[in-house]
Chain A
Amino acid sequence: MAKGVAITGMGIISSIGNSVEENYHSLIENKIGISRIQNISTVHADVIKVGEIKKTNDDLIAELELNSDNNFSRTAMIGTLAAKQAVENAGITEINEFRTGLISATSVGGMDMTEKHYYDYFEKPELVKYIACHDGGDVADKIAEELGLKGMVSTISTACSSAANAIMLGSRLIKTGKLDRVIVGGADALSKFTINGFKTLMILSDNYNKPFDNNRKGLNLGEAAAFLVLESDEIVEKQNKKVLARVSGYGNANDAFHQTASSENGDGAFLAMKKAFEVSGLKPSEIDYINVHGTATPNNDLSEGRALRRIYENETVPDFSSTKPFTGHTLAAAAAIEAVYSVLAIQNNVVYPNLNFETQMEEFDLTPQTSLKNKNIEHVLSNSFGFGGNCSTLIFSKS
């Protein structure tokens, strides 16, 4: 593949910062966003740790200047904030000037609101407006409306690989000439639904998550939203845009092994990475940093590690780390925030530390980078694997 699709803007809100800059500073200063849960009352409050955005819903409503009769879910609000940041960062003033689309991603959708009011709708007419914000598509519809975007809008929901797939589709829409620019990314707010869901699967840790550690116990959930603006080379030239980095490779494959667990040999992950290399034309050895999915569940890290070993065969696996000890696992938004972190790694030539790592996994010889490292970064590989065996890999390159 030629150069890759240009990224001209980014926006992000997560537990480690409310802007691209804030997130970056947290990453290089070891400032984690994991803590006890504040915004949701759950019986599990004392036995879980989460990566929560440090704003209440009222804060978000005020920041977005929404009317009191709005029916935004928390997911839609954080999504809108991040998308607006990205559009502004890309210097876009007339959103419909060119063929512009929005491809979003979410798994929670408006569930954060639905679960609050589920049994109250019939008694409290003032809550009925929230019924319409439940579905996944509502988040993208609301973001589009707030941006004034009228063109193609859609949403991908493939669990934890969702945002990677959104970035992938956006890239293809530009490459095939169907759109001139696409805003891509994802958003997921914390909810009792997901907290309890993951609890029943017994993959939540009661402590800080330790990716790729032999004694890892599970993940910390998080919430976040991030969007990137992808633009065609034609528009970049026409408008003399600054290119932050490029999406040079991508691949999606299905593990077809089990609904929630990954295969021991990491088939899906292996195939996704292989495909991404094919698309980019790069060799595995050309990757300078791998942002692994690294959720710190016993299953994922084993499966992903095996897949990495298969891709790299007899070669050394490049510097790699999971940034989930900073942010928690933000589900459908994960690949989007990690895309922002990948671009920042390229722009600043850094490899982030894989925090909380102590003991190498006994199954193979893989130790993540545990301290911040400065080196030239040309290419970053980012993995995101979701339930339903949905495995996605993205490769970002210096422009």
Chain B
Amino acid sequence: MKKTYINGVGCISTQKTFDTVFLEEAVVNHDENVLAIVPPAYKEYISPAASRRMAKGVKNGIVASALAMKDANVENVDAIITGTGLGCIEDSEKFLKSILDNKEEFLTPTSFIQSTHNTVGAQIALLQQCKGYNFTYVNGAVSFESALLDAKMQIEEDEANSILVGGVDENGEYTTALFKLNGRIKADNTAPYDVLTSTTSGAVYGEGASFFVLENERKENTYAEILDIAIVNTLEENEIKTEISSFLKSNNLEISDVDALVLGFDGNAAFENYYRNLTENAFAQTPVLYYKHLSGEYDTASAFAFWMAAKILKTQEIPEIVKVNSVSKSAYKTILLYNQLNGKNHSFTLLSK
């Protein structure tokens, strides 16, 4: 059965994560509860004719995927698989508002068309003239992992040799306001916002697009191999350790084999124990890392973590800014990523050098 390798990465996020070596320009923002993207020079990647209809998410997705393909030194891929939690929410908001404000009159199609969830994957296919397999997953916090799982299966089934996989989400103004109202985002004016020591519920929010070229061949520039991915909808706090142990066991590994554990700490104290229990007990002797203080929380933020883990395996260095504890190892061979949202949509991803 063919193996799956990460051969190219591209990340557009709320930090400067393009045209950088890694996270050397990353800054933790304690003042804002909604972080905004650091935009690339879109014009370098997208013609005005194409970009005139595109909202942020689509543009970020296109740039991130272009970066990943350049990084992997490929011009074409066999398949494109994307994950998004809320899809193109900006266009969604725009169209809905037009409907409500104009009482369903004088509506124009552009924002409706752009609001369909598979727009990013479709636009990339159009630009590349890629007629291959093209799926979009929309299931909250496991949207990106669903795409990864599918891609790995494609490679194992020998259906594709190279696949572009990505996770993308964008913030919409009105939706952000609604998320503050329902507590998904921390309340305004309650700074400093700190992801690890927070006592309040709700998260610090963000947006971004992270894309990867996965291939069935190990190359010189390979970042890592994807060993396994598991998605579980519902787990109690006290079931996580067992779940992780059996996940590792099915890959002939134990907790002690994990050289770094990447957790989705997002400042939401209500669900923090999912991570804290692991950090303080089973993985107390393992380097534990976090990332949502840099990326912000959003459904596909785990794609940022995936990018981060791939980079760590390549550089063999963990930036201080992402460390939760001060445990370190001499070499990093195996990284486990675990994420969940509000106690649901748990995902476990295993990478190796």
Answer whether A and B touch in the complex at a CB cut-off of 8 Å. yes
What's the Cα separation between A153 and B107 when bound, in Å? Answer: 36
Name the interface size band of chain A: 35 or more
Distance (whole angstroms) from the CB of B317 to the closest CB of chain A: 34
Over the window 333-353 of chain B, the binary record of Cβ atoms lying under 8 Å from chain A Cβ atoms (1 yes, 0 no) is 000000000001100000000
Count of CB-CB pairs between chains A and B under 8 Å: 197
Distance (whole angstroms) from the CB of A128 to the closest CB of chain B: 5
Task: Decide if B39 is an interface residue (CB 8 Å cutoff).
Answer: no
Residue of A nearest to B114 (CB): A259
Residue of B nearest to A165 (CB): B135
Beta-carbon contact of B95 and A193 below 8 Å: yes
Beta-carbon contact of A132 and B182 below 8 Å: yes
Beta-carbon contact of A141 and B233 below 8 Å: yes
Task: Decide if A367 is an interface residue (CB 8 Å cutoff).
Answer: no
Q: A178 to chain B: which residues have CB within 8 Å?
A: 153
Partner of B122 from the list A129, A153, A390 (CB cut-off 8 Å) is A390
For the residues of B in contact with A, the DSSP-based class is mixed
What's the Cα separation between A253 and B135 when bound, in Å? Answer: 9
Q: A122-B181, A136-B138 are in contact. Are A200 and B122 (CB under 8 A)?
A: no
What's the Cα separation between A121 and B174 when bound, in Å? Answer: 11
Q: B112 to chain A: which residues have CB within 8 Å?
A: 193, 196-197, 200-201
Residue of B nearest to A168 (CB): B135
Total interface residues on B, using CB and 8 Å? Answer: 62
Partner of A390 from the list B118, B142, B231 (CB cut-off 8 Å) is B118
Q: A43-B105, A151-B233, A192-B104 are in contact. Are A114 and B138 (CB under 8 A)?
A: no
Distance (whole angstroms) from the CB of A144 to the closest CB of chain B: 5
Stretch at the interface among A15-23, A81-89, A154-162, A220-228: A154-162
What's the Cα separation between A200 and B114 when bound, in Å? Answer: 13
Q: A131-B181, A256-B129 are in contact. Are A197 and B118 (CB under 8 A)?
A: no
Beta-carbon contact of B140 and A388 below 8 Å: no
Task: Decide if A54 is an interface residue (CB 8 Å cutoff).
Answer: no
Task: Decide if A371 is an interface residue (CB 8 Å cutoff).
Answer: no
Beta-carbon contact of B235 and A150 below 8 Å: yes
Partner of A153 from the list B130, B179, B182, B233 (CB cut-off 8 Å) is B233
Binding site for A on B (CB under 8 A): 80, 85-87, 92, 95-97, 99-100, 103-105, 107-109, 112-113, 115-119, 121-123, 125-126, 128-140, 142-143, 146, 150, 153, 156-157, 178-179, 181-182, 184, 230-235, 299, 344-345
Binding site for B on A (CB under 8 A): 42-44, 102, 106-107, 109, 111, 114-115, 118-119, 121-122, 128-129, 131-132, 134-138, 140-141, 144-145, 149-159, 165, 169, 172-173, 176, 178, 192-193, 196-197, 199-201, 252-260, 267-268, 271, 386-390
Q: List 11 A-B contacts (CB under 8 A).
A: A136-B117, A137-B299, A157-B118, A193-B99, A196-B95, A199-B107, A200-B108, A200-B112, A254-B134, A268-B131, A271-B131
